[in-house]
Amino acid sequence: QVQLVESGGGVVQPGRSLRLSCAASGFTFRSYGMHWVRQAPGKGLEWVAVKWYDGSNEYYADSVKGRFTISRESSKNTLYLQMNSLRADDTAVYYCARDSLPNSSGWPLDYWGQGTLVTVSS
């Protein structure tokens, strides 16, 4: 069955960096676009970034553009989110999620991980 398992969250000081990982299993990872979505405590969902299935494109929310970088390593079935220059308002649970259709873009998200909490605080 499809599984997405995030890791790498924790407490980090403002201005520092953190890298999140999302280990995928149960499907052909290289065939699916992969996303990061975050949720600040008690708040709604905020889409963060996408890496297309073939790695040809990536897009970011304005709030993280220039600070976060999404990448994927198909040999390890793993998605990453490199987060630099972290700010207090980046505090959130970060979910990885999969596009619902393979070999395409522009589809909703059908499988989600359980999330990993990032807390930015001094």
Q: Which residues bind other proteins (CB under 8 A)?
A: 35, 37, 44-47, 50, 59-62, 95, 97, 100, 106-110, 112-115
> What sign does the CA torsion over 82, 14, 59, 9 have?
positive
* Of 50 and 86, CB closest to other proteins: 50
Beta-bridged to residue 94, according to DSSP, are 38, 116
Please report how close the Cβ of residue 13 comes to other proteins at its closest, in angstroms. Answer: 27
* Of 16 and 110, CB closest to other proteins: 110
* Of 113 and 120, CB closest to other proteins: 113
Please report how close the Cβ of residue 122 comes to other proteins at its closest, in angstroms. Answer: 27
**DSSP 8-class letter at 26:** S
Q: Which tokens sit at 65? A: 């553009």
- Cα(118)–Cα(121) distance, rounded to whole angstroms? 10
Please report how close the Cβ of residue 49 comes to other proteins at its closest, in angstroms. Answer: 9
* Of 39 and 77, CB closest to other proteins: 39
Please report how close the Cβ of residue 108 comes to other proteins at its closest, in angstroms. Answer: 4
